[in-house]
């Protein structure tokens, strides 16, 4: 894998490179390089399988991270290619010409995070949240409590318990009266 990473470094600048295991690597590239590097990895380095694509919201930094998880069947290596994009203009190139099935991941990410993939098939159709009117629910600035209180009514007779006290009372009641065993040093 080191040879592959060196060949990649000869072609583009890698921002961050991490080895998690002998068969799992990650690196981060600039948005402008993503099409080139994904094409190169698929066509020249045999990372032919796109296992999945995911997004992470770094609200405090004003960024989304997209990860393209690739697999090479010949050398049995997983490679995650990360790219950071701006939250204010959350848009990324569609990679459906490289991997036709990626449109499903892009459609899901569009709906749940609000990241647009211009030109991606069916990207604007509902995926899971048919009729959703709020901000995308996987964005970290989406207030789930506020949404729940606004959308659902509180059933009568329900109460909220402090989890620590509830666990003590309900699950560990018999242990509360047991004296603590102290070991001599």
Q: What is the pLDDT of residue 127?
A: 84
How is residue 84 written in tokens?
A: 């950071």
What pTM was computed for the model?
0.80
Q: What is the pLDDT of residue 171?
A: 74
pLDDT-based confidence at 2, cuts 50/70/90? confident
Superfamily for domain range 2-154: NADH:ubiquinone oxidoreductase Nqo5 subunit (3.30.460.80)
pLDDT tens string 147-161:
988 888 877 777 777
Q: Which residue has the higher pLDDT, 142 or 184?
A: 142
Determine if residue 91 is left, alpha or beta; phi over 0 gives left, psi from -120 to 50 gives alpha, anything else beta. beta
Rounded to whole angstroms, the Cα distance separating 8 from 26 reads: 13
Maximum Cα–Cα distance across the chain: 71
> Is the pLDDT score of 110 beyond 90?
yes
Contact 142, 155 (CB under 8 A): no
> Which letter does DSSP use for residue 32 in this model?
G
Domain definitions of the chain by residue range: 2-154
Residue with tokens 């796109």: 50
Rounded to whole angstroms, the Cα distance separating 24 from 152 reads: 43
Q: What is the pLDDT of residue 179?
A: 58
Q: What is the edge-to-edge ordering of all strands in the sheet holding 16-21?
A: 16-21, 24-29, 77-86, 63-72, 49-58
> Is the pLDDT score of 75 beyond 60?
yes
The DSSP result for 96-118, as a single string, is TTT-TTHHHHHHHHHHHH--B-T
pLDDT tens string 12-68:
888 888 999 999 999 999 999 999 999 999 999 999 999 999 999 999 999 999 999
> Is the pLDDT score of 176 beyond 60?
no
Q: What is the pLDDT of residue 152?
A: 85
Rounded to whole angstroms, the Cα distance separating 82 from 55 reads: 9
Strands (E), the chain: 16-21, 24-29, 49-58, 63-72, 77-86
């Amino acid at each position: 894998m080191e040879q592959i990473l060196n060949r990649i470094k000869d072609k583009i600048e890698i921002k961050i490179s991490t080895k998690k295991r002998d068969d799992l690597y990650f690196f981060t590239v600039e948005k402008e390089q993503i099409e080139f590097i994904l094409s190169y990895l698929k066509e020249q380095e045999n990372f032919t399988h796109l296992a999945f694509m995911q997004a992470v919201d770094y609200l405090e930094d004003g960024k989304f991270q997209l990860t393209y998880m690739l697999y090479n069947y010949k050398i049995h290596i997983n490679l995650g290619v990360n790219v950071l994009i701006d939250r204010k203009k959350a848009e990324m190139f569609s990679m459906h010409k490289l991997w036709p099935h990626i449109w499903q991941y892009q459609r899901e990410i569009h709906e749940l995070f609000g990241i647009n993939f211009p030109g991606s098939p069916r990207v604007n159709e509902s995926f899971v949240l048919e009729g959703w009117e709020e901000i995308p629910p996987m964005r970290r600035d989406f207030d789930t409590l506020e949404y729940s209180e606004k959308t659902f009514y509180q059933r009568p007779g329900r109460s909220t318990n402090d989890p620590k006290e509830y666990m003590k009372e309900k699950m560990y009641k018999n242990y509360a009266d047991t004296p603590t065993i102290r070991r001599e040093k």
